[in-house]
Structure 1
Amino acid sequence: MSAARPPEGARTAGEAEGTQVRAPRPPEVPGSAARERPGAPVAGARPPRRSLLQTLQRAHVRVATTSMVAVGLALLLAAVLALRTYANNHLELVARSIAYSVEAAVVFNDRVAVMEQLAVIAQRESLREAELRDRQGQVLARYERPDSQKNSALLEMAGEPLGRLLMPEPTVAPVLDRGRPIGEVRLRGDGAVFARFLATAAAGIALCLVLAGVGMRLLSRRIQRDIVEPVQALIAMTHRARLQRSRAQRAPASQIAEFHALGEDFNALLIEIEMQQAQLAQENRSLTHLANHDSLTGLFNRAYFSRRLARILQDAQAQGGHIAVLYMDNDHFKQINDRYGHAVGDLLLIEVAKRIRTQLREGDLVARLGGDEFAVLLAPVHHARDAMRIAEKINAAVAVPLPERYERIVPSVSIGVALFPEHGQTADQLLRAADRAMYQAKKSGRGTSQLFEGNYVVSDVPEM
């Protein structure tokens, strides 16, 4: 039988107990958890990099510590082995001395004398244990160092296991009477000697490590001065050159040949970059000049004149000023160009441009629009007659024969004048009005100037 389905809205047993049914979670994008939790470590992120000084210090500390510990342990082991050999030889001498001293007492079985002599020598030689046995192995006398003569608790705790480790067997010497053994002496040395020596050696190694640390500190300062500081200077210069575009600085000289050569190469690179930047700046200025000027006459071109006229018109509209545009065309230029050649025509245009420029005020603008056409922007002007006066001065200055062998050529220009705001509100309107006035000037007589007004040209100059 199939289980009956619970009615809609009824909770299951798991839900009744507080278990929540959750929708399946969308797949996680790698790295999204790290972006959602600020400060959480990003998976695969690199640990912070150490500086050059820290890397060199760690390397030197590791090398120095390993070397000092290895040398110290080797010297300590050699010294312990030498001390052990010395202690064994010394105990053998002491044992023979005791055997010789107690020979008579052992022969006469005088235990008191044996004990006194054993105690005197054992105390003098700082023995831990000493005993005298007869031929049958029975103990005739025994000595153990009293507590009053023991070393400190730490030396005792360390000395006893060290003594048993380095000298596991007691030192034995026979007691002879006329060459026949009548007993034997057994001795154990004091292991505190080894503990004291090891403590002294450990203190010496620690002192050497401290001195090595002081030396490492001095070495780190020298590394900081001779290696790290030149590298940091180069890094700082690189950052300033990249971020602040500062290339006037130079890397200082270094006592290390490699860093000095690197600094010299870096300085040479900066000089080369400066030269390239200066060349690029010069090329940019040349391109900007070419983009805004006429290559023949050196005047501004049509594009620059249009932009400047538009800006001046905006200022005039905002402040209520008045400006004038002069549109001029060389008279009979085609005939002169065809008769005398393009070189003479170019010379004529250059000379006309110079003469126009000399008649303008400091803030006025003259441009070559193309071919033999020129335009002048007068800003500001207070009266229409001021613009006409400048136009007449230009007519008079231009109408002078060309110098030297071209004196038969007398240039002249026809000028049309348009005013803002009377004759136009935009740059195109003013240029068209001045162009129409220029054609009226040609019709009325070349080498003259006319003011535009409406659809006809007036001879009287109105007040603005």
Structure 2
Amino acid sequence: MTAPSDPAMPTLRTVLARVHMRLILFAVLMAGATLLITGVVVIRGYAERNLSLIAQTVAYTVEPALVFDDMQAARDGIATVAASESVRAVEVRDVRNRLLVEWRRPDSGVMAAIGRGGDLFAPSPALAAVRRGQDVVGHVRVFGDAGGLGRYILAGLLAALTCLALTVIATQMLARRLQRDVTEPLARIAEVAHAVRADRQFDRRVPASDILEVDQLGRDFNALLDELDDWHAGLLSENRMLEKQATRDALTGLGNRVMFEQVLPVAIARADAQGSAFAAVYIDVNRFKQVNDRHGHDAGDAMLIVIAARLRAVLRPGDQAFRLGGDEFALILAPDITREDVAILIRRLLAGMEQPIMLPSGESTVASLSVGSALYPDDSADARDLLRHADAAMYAAKTGRTGPHDRRNP
């Protein structure tokens, strides 16, 4: 017996959707990180070259101011050059490394904070010598900020988030298509397999799928179900045949002793439940052995077949006839029957036996029956005692001691 599925186990759709999500997120993150790092390296190199040019320009601009010791003119010149560039600070020192002029960007806000604190991303300070002819009169140091890199990083992050959002949407669309094309067909196959296993619904079939492999799986599964259906139908037919052989008399087609013993308890239970009565009737064929000895077994079989047919002819709906073996027969007469009804049925049965029976040899004979009956629960409420009562009544009829419920065809 298959163990029940663990409700905590993930479904195929969940597993595949999770794998797709992880793969796509990994790919997007790797691509985004690669582009971001590459862009930072390129922009940082560009910024360093730009700072070097700015440092040379500042050195050229402040050279007259240093010569004439006009620091305000130097400061104004620096502001003119550096204000429009990505410059955080400019320092001008003499040949003894004494600070002569310092300029810092007065900007505020997020980009300024990034520019002041982003030393990790900011380009290296650029140095340039201030020359008067061939003599060096000072040095200029220009510090760049990370404002440009910060804007680039923010733009990259925004683009990455946009890509992630699009990835989630694409993954959901892929998951829905995956569910429609793969998991739902597989779920239908599992549903049909469960119906066949649990409820023996061999007529169920798997519908076609739009995916070749899944459709082929469904076709093969349906072919297997066709074979199982044929096998099941054959098995049922064989079982019915075996059951018929086990509970039916092969010669007369009546129920046999096994079936009689199965039907009797059911009749008792039904009578008890409904508070009604039923009758058990025993029948014995008189002088059957003489017919067999004189005319052969074929004649005896023909005689039994005719007797069985005449038994069926007098039965009412719900009554049942049985051949218990040899020349012994039994009847179970349906509930709501009275003793008078039993007597009427027995008279009809005996009257039907008055017509001669043709034997295979061309001769004819008349069947003589000894009949005994017992009424449940009037004669007995016990199954064994009820049958003994009917058997005793039949024996009395056979020996000529007929009672009010016993009949014998003379």
Q: Return the offset for 1:112.
A: 4.3
Instruction: Tell whether the 8 Å contact from 1:423 to 1:452 is kept in structure 2 after alignment.
Output: no
- Summarize the alignment of residues 200-215 of structure 1 with structure 2, pairs less than 5 Å apart: 200-215=155-170
| 2:129 alignment partner, SS class | strand
- Summarize the alignment of residues 399-414 of structure 1 with structure 2, pairs less than 5 Å apart: 399-402=356-359, 406-414=361-369
- Summarize the alignment of residues 111-190 of structure 1 with structure 2, pairs less than 5 Å apart: 111-135=71-95, 137-145=97-105, 147=106, 150-152=107-109, 154-163=110-119, 166-168=122-124, 170-190=125-145
Q: Return the offset for 1:259.
A: 2.3
Unaligned runs of 5+ in 1: 1-45, 441-449, 460-464
Amino acid of the residue matched to residue 183 of structure 1?
Answer: G
| 1:367 alignment partner, SS class | strand
Cα displacement string for residues 254-296 of structure 1 (whole angstroms, at most 9, x for unaligned residues): 2223322332333333333333332333233223322322111
Matched, 1:299 2:250: no
Relative to structure 1, the CA distance from residue 415 to residue 235 in structure 2 (aligned partners, 3 Å threshold; closer, same or farther) is same
Relative to structure 1, the CA distance from residue 309 to residue 164 in structure 2 (aligned partners, 3 Å threshold; closer, same or farther) is closer
Unaligned runs of 5+ in 2: 1-5, 381-385
Instruction: Tell whether the 8 Å contact from 1:417 to 1:452 is kept in structure 2 after alignment.
Output: no
Matched, 1:395 2:340: no
Cα displacement string for residues 207-244 of structure 1 (whole angstroms, at most 9, x for unaligned residues): 22222222222222222222222233233333333444
For residue 21 of structure 2, what is the aligned residue in structure 1?
A: 61
| 1:369 alignment partner, SS class | strand
2: CA distance, partners of 1:214 / 1:96: 52
For residue 53 of structure 2, what is the aligned residue in structure 1?
A: 93
| 2:204 alignment partner, SS class | coil
Q: Return the offset for 1:100.
A: 3.1
Q: Return the offset for 1:89.
A: 0.7
Instruction: Tell whether the 8 Å contact from 1:330 to 1:412 is kept in structure 2 after alignment.
Output: yes
Relative to structure 1, the CA distance from residue 52 to residue 87 in structure 2 (aligned partners, 3 Å threshold; closer, same or farther) is same
For residue 388 of structure 2, what is the aligned residue in structure 1?
A: 428
1: CA distance, partners of 2:41 / 2:174: 36
**Greater RCO, CA 8 A, separation 6+:** 2
Instruction: Tell whether the 8 Å contact from 2:12 to 2:183 is kept in structure 1 after alignment.
Output: yes
Instruction: Tell whether the 8 Å contact from 1:452 to 1:458 is kept in structure 2 after alignment.
Output: no
- Normalising by the residue count of structure 1, what TM-score does the alignment of the two structures yield? 0.73
1: CA distance, partners of 2:376 / 2:169: 87
Aligned-residue identity in percent: 32
Cα displacement string for residues 38-66 of structure 1 (whole angstroms, at most 9, x for unaligned residues): xxxxxxxx993222233223323333333
Structure 1 stretch displaced more, 413-422 or 157-166: 413-422
Cα displacement string for residues 49-102 of structure 1 (whole angstroms, at most 9, x for unaligned residues): 222233223323333333322322222221111111101111111222233334
Structure 1 stretch displaced more, 218-227 or 374-383: 374-383
1: CA distance, partners of 2:108 / 2:174: 42
Relative to structure 1, the CA distance from residue 345 to residue 127 in structure 2 (aligned partners, 3 Å threshold; closer, same or farther) is same
Q: Return the offset for 1:327.
A: 1.8
Q: Return the offset for 1:387.
A: 4.2
Amino acid of the residue matched to residue 452 of structure 1?
Answer: G
Relative to structure 1, the CA distance from residue 201 to residue 341 in structure 2 (aligned partners, 3 Å threshold; closer, same or farther) is same
2: CA distance, partners of 1:160 / 1:127: 10
Instruction: Tell whether the 8 Å contact from 2:311 to 2:349 is kept in structure 1 after alignment.
Output: no
2: CA distance, partners of 1:59 / 1:50: 12
| 1:90 alignment partner, SS class | helix
2: CA distance, partners of 1:265 / 1:457: 67
Amino acid of the residue matched to residue 82 of structure 2?
Answer: A
| 2:130 alignment partner, SS class | strand
1: CA distance, partners of 2:365 / 2:162: 106
Instruction: Tell whether the 8 Å contact from 1:424 to 1:433 is kept in structure 2 after alignment.
Output: no
For residue 39 of structure 2, what is the aligned residue in structure 1?
A: 79
Q: Return the offset for 1:173.
A: 1.7
Which of 214, 221, 235 lines up with 1:266 in the alignment?
Answer: 221
Instruction: Tell whether the 8 Å contact from 2:86 to 2:148 is kept in structure 1 after alignment.
Output: no
| 1:382 alignment partner, SS class | helix
